[in-house]
């Protein structure tokens, strides 16, 4: 049997998730406790240390299952993309609020009052989930202005929120909103993100729950255009490509908008940047010897 990928299966030498009891042997198993993220962006690390590699970030309002907690760290699995790792326990709560809205802006703030002059309580990135209990215009005996009140406390600018079912339709356009954001391995917000994080956040805004890492995205997202289209793109023929197609290299991915606009978070610019796909393809080939491995359409 092929070994289970520990990025997406809660397996340690001493412990495993109870749902894996029929698939692996472990000294003990845990059912886990469902919790919710209460920090704007909560680092998910490979080990319970602040200097451990950042694998990804958990966004405010996301749900996780915590299988173990010790010394201020929680070992958990994210419900959305199934990623497993360690996060600081104070960034989580068992006081669950079912989200009604998500953040549609690149970033926004939670204020203690419906007043932009008050010091923000939290900074939220696109895709953060919010349980709204009061929206502007509702009668409650107080004037909220253009703000919505969160069930967990605080106020968020109305126009930065969308109903949880209100999705964007152009993930290329969403990705382009992040132009200039610095590159950060494992990042998923406008403070910094990486190539697969940019794709994941953009697709999430469009209602698509995408895997976190490029190797899994290249297997599970959409359908491959096939070798002819890939070879055509490598040689500079983009006639088969459409806006929104995902272009993959080993360990890298970006979004095709048009022949002059390919958007990707990359370590060459150390930012989210655009360039003609032919320029990017030639640059990757010159730097690493890698060619485009797949082009996938949702």
Residues of the domain holding 142: 101-163
In this predicted structure, what is the pLDDT of residue 1?
57
What CATH number corresponds to the domain at position 136? 2.30.30
Token readout for 170 is 């152009």
Longest pairwise C-alpha distance within the chain: 65
For the ranges 51-55, 81-85, 232-236, 289-293, the lowest mean pLDDT is seen at: 232-236
Last residue of a domain, one of 58, 93, 128: 93
Given a contact cutoff of 8 angstroms between Cβ atoms, the answer to whether 33 and 65 are in contact is yes
Confidence of residue 224 (pLDDT cuts 50, 70, 90): very high
| Cα 50 to chain centroid, rounded | 20
Confidence of residue 110 (pLDDT cuts 50, 70, 90): very high
Cα separation, 115 vs 126, in Å, equals 21
* Per-residue pLDDT tens over the stretch 259-276: 899 999 999 999 999 999
**What pTM value is reported for the model?**
0.95
In this predicted structure, what is the pLDDT of residue 141?
46
The answer to whether residue 9 is domain-embedded is no
pLDDT, averaged across the chain: 95
For the ranges 27-41, 134-148, 174-188, the lowest mean pLDDT is seen at: 134-148
Query: 275 and 177 in one domain?
Result: yes
Last residue of a domain, one of 134, 163, 192: 163
* Per-residue pLDDT tens over the stretch 132-152: 998 765 544 454 569 999 999
Read off the pLDDT of each residue in 109-113 and give the average, rounded to a whole number. Answer: 96
Cα separation, 17 vs 188, in Å, equals 26
In this predicted structure, what is the pLDDT of residue 240?
96
- Give the count of domains, the chain: 3
Percent of the chain having pLDDT more than 70?
A: 96
286: Cβ–Cβ under 8 A, 6 or more apart, which residues?
none
Confidence of residue 3 (pLDDT cuts 50, 70, 90): confident
Query: 124 and 176 in one domain?
Result: no
What CATH number corresponds to the domain at position 61? 2.30.30.40
Beta bridge partners of 272: 265
Query: 257 and 202 in one domain?
Result: yes
SS (H, E, C) 29-76: EECCEEEEECCCEEEEECCCCCCCCEEEEEECCCEEEEEEEECCEEEE
Given a contact cutoff of 8 angstroms between Cβ atoms, the answer to whether 175 and 138 are in contact is no
Query: 128 and 64 in one domain?
Result: no
* Per-residue pLDDT tens over the stretch 197-212: 999 999 999 999 999 9
Query: 109 and 80 in one domain?
Result: no
């Amino acid at each position: 049997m092929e070994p289970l990928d520990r990025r997406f299966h809660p397996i340690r030498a001493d412990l495993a998730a109870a749902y894996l009891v029929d698939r692996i042997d472990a000294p003990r198993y845990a059912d886990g406790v469902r919790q919710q993220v209460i920090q704007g962006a909560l680092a998910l690390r490979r080990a319970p240390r602040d200097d451990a590699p950042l694998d990804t970030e958990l966004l405010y309002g996301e749900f996780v299952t915590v299988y173990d907690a010790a010394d201020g760290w929680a070992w958990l699995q994210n419900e959305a993309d199934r990623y497993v790792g360690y996060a600081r326990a104070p960034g989580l709560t068992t006081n669950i609020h079912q989200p009604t809205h998500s953040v549609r802006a690149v970033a926004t703030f939670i204020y203690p009052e419906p007043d932009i002059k008050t010091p923000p309580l939290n900074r939220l990135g696109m895709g953060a989930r919010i349980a709204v209990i009061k929206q502007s215009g509702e009668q409650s005996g107080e004037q909220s202005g253009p703000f919505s009140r969160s069930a967990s406390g605080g106020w968020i600018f109305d126009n930065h929120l969308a109903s949880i079912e209100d999705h964007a339709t152009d993930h290329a356009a969403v990705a382009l909103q992040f132009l200039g954001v610095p590159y950060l391995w494992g990042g998923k917000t406008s403070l910094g993100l990486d190539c697969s994080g940019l794709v994941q956040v953009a697709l999430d805004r469009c209602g698509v729950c995408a895997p976190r890492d490029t190797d899994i995205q290249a297997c599970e997202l959409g359908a491959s255009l096939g070798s002819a289209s890939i070879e055509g793109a490598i040689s500079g023929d983009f006639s088969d490509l459409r806006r929104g197609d995902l272009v993959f290299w080993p360990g890298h991915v970006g979004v095709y908008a048009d022949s002059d606009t390919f958007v990707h978070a990359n370590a060459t610019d150390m930012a989210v940047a655009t360039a003609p796909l032919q320029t990017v393809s030639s640059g990757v080939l010159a730097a690493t010897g890698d060619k485009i491995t797949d082009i996938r359409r949702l």
